[in-house]
Amino acid sequence: MPIITASIDPVTRIEGHLKIDVKIDTVNGVQQVVDAHAVGTLFRGFEKVLEGRDPRDAPIITSRICGVCPTSHGLAAALALDDAFGVLPPTAGLIMRNLVHAACYLESHILHFYVLSLLDYIPGLGMAPWQPGWDVGRRIDARTVQLLQGSYLAALEKRRKAHEMGSIFGGKLPHTPAYLAGGFTAVATSGNKTKFQTYLTELLDFIESTYIPDVEMVASHFSDYFDIGKGHGNLLSYGAFRENPAGSLKLFQAGRRDDGSSSVLPVDTSHIAEHVTHSWYDDSTNALHPAAGDTVPIHPKPEGYSWLKAPRYDGANYECGPLARMTVNGDYSGGVSVMDRHIARAREALKIGQAMEGWLSALPVGQTGYNAAAVPETATAFGLTEAPRGALGHWMKVQDRKIEHYQVITPTCWNCSPRDTAGNRGPLEEALVGVPVAKADQPIEVLRVIHSVDPCLDCATHVMRPGKGGKVYIVDRNGTRETEKTAE
């Protein structure tokens, strides 16, 4: 049989726009994926938007990179500003940074399992937009499917409540304006602490009584997926949720774990470089550290096939996300697979929710959340944290009190990166190779692997192109309209 090429474009039930091309062939009598390309189909120019701006704008602007992990970008930018301004938050600010960031994790993890992944395993409700859909098989009995569909509907409400909880201190979500250099804008009252606890109790109950059992239920019917979708097997975490201002204590420790090894290696970000050989960026920017990297789009380009760059650590591929965090931290000891990712993510939600209770009770009432600091004349700084989907870094240079240079490496850039200069596949691409496919025209097995890494191409890429005839206004940095033209 000839090799079949299947394109899933766009991949649905993810954030943003991802295209996956797979080659399917029969090997040893099993029809399976033999090669894969992950294509980020949109350009994200936030780094260029930031150049020339006041550094204090960075948390506000970068949180617009994405609607599902805006607090992570706000926090990463604020950490870079702490570093640049030479300031650390007071206890109240540190705790509120954690609580609002953690609220976003709960929202994101619940959303991911129920809304983005579950329908790879059970049919959706018998109406649009759930039908028509791909054939997901009938491994789970009708009564259990009905229970899971009920959890799906409950999850819609719970994830909204997670956002409402975060907005108690964040002011609003998804794009809270509360993260800033030296801390956080809010001041806690005993009333809003109690309100936060009420939401948290309800969400913890849902995670314990519904989310974790539902994931385990699905895993018990799809136990073959503990052996599917491994990829390179290397895991990376920057560590997250500081428990003291300087960050020497964290809920999740930083570290790397290489495939086949049980030892946790340190993370030294000077070993990170972004490859662009197969990305639509100028080759003169290849294999640079993010502090020196640039965003120079070149499209088309002979070897290019994605707007994502390919971050590598000492030239090696690393997967990041809840499984990496939980494994590196010693909280999870399974393997690397589709189901390990789902189970680690659910258990992480519980661990974070329980930690939130401790942070909330330690949150001082009536105390300022930030320490003021002046914008420095010059600085070179970075902020590292973990977004729900994994390792997130912002690198910044300040010159004449303005941002001269900014680079962001998102978790999805690690996970969904294209091939690097050496030709090695990115983590998701590698995880897809060997995946058995029953029906090449409905490769649901491929979708299960893609969804397990929870891609967010919004974080990785962005562009807006006006339709023909659309009015384009070019606005200078002071907000003054300079020119107007008609798009062709």
Report the interface residues with ligand NFE, using CB under 6 A: 15, 66, 68-69, 72, 387-389, 392, 410-412, 456, 458-460
Least separation in angstroms between residue 159's CB and ligand NFE is 14
| Least CB distance to ligand NFE at residue 442 (A) | 27
Nearer to ligand NFE, 219 or 387 (CB): 387
Q: How far is the CB of 459 from ligand NFE (least distance, A)?
A: 3
Q: Under 8 Å CB-to-CB from 129, ≥6 apart: which residues?
A: none
Give the number of other CB atoms < 10 A from CB of residue 396. Answer: 28
Taking the complex as a whole, the smallest distance from the CB of residue 412 to ligand NFE amounts, in Å, to 3
- What are the DSSP calls for 244-312, one per residue? STTSSSEEE--EEE-TT--PPBP--GGGEEEE-TTBTB-GGGTTB-TTT----B--S-TT--BSS-EEE
Q: How far is the CB of 172 from ligand NFE (least distance, A)?
A: 18
Closest to ligand NFE by CB, 369 vs 411, is 411
User: Between residues 73 and 250, which has the closer beta carbon with respect to ligand NFE?
Assistant: 73
> How far is the C-alpha of 341 from the C-alpha of 475, rounded, in Å?
44
Smallest gap from Cβ 104 to ligand NFE, in A, equals: 8
CB atoms within 10 A of CB 189: 12
Report the distance separating Cα 179 and Cα 72, nearest Å. 10
- Minimum CB distance to ligand NFE smaller for 18 or for 379: 18
- CA proximity to 212, closest of 352, 322, 342, 358: 342
Rank residues 59 and 123 by Cβ distance to ligand NFE and give the closer one.
59
First to last CA, the chain: 45
Contact predicate 39/24, CB 8 Å: no
Residue 238 or 280: the one with the smaller Cβ distance to ligand NFE is 238
Best CA proximity match to 21, nearest among 300, 336, 452, 425: 425
Q: Which is nearer to ligand NFE, 15 or 47 (CB)?
A: 15
Task: Please state the closest distance from residue 392 (CB atom) to ligand NFE, in A.
Answer: 4
Least distance CB 225 / ligand NFE (angstroms): 22
Contact 58, 407 (CB under 8 A): no
Nearer Cβ to ligand NFE (16/123): 16
Can you list the positions of beta strands (E) in 105-253? 179-180, 183-184, 235-237, 240-242, 250-252
Closest to ligand NFE by CB, 188 or 352: 352
We find the least distance from the C-beta atom of residue 10 to ligand NFE, in angstroms, to be 15
Rg (CA), the chain: 22
* Residues contacting 105, CB < 8 A, separation 6+: 348, 349, 352, 388
Q: How far is the CB of 478 from ligand NFE (least distance, A)?
A: 30
Q: DSSP states of 24-53 as a string?
A: EEEETTEEEEEEEEEEE-S---HHHHHTTS
Q: Between residues 233 and 388, which has the closer beta carbon with respect to ligand NFE?
A: 388
Query: Any residues with CB less than 8 A from the CB of 194 and at least 6 apart, and which?
Result: none
CB 24 within 8 A of CB 36: no
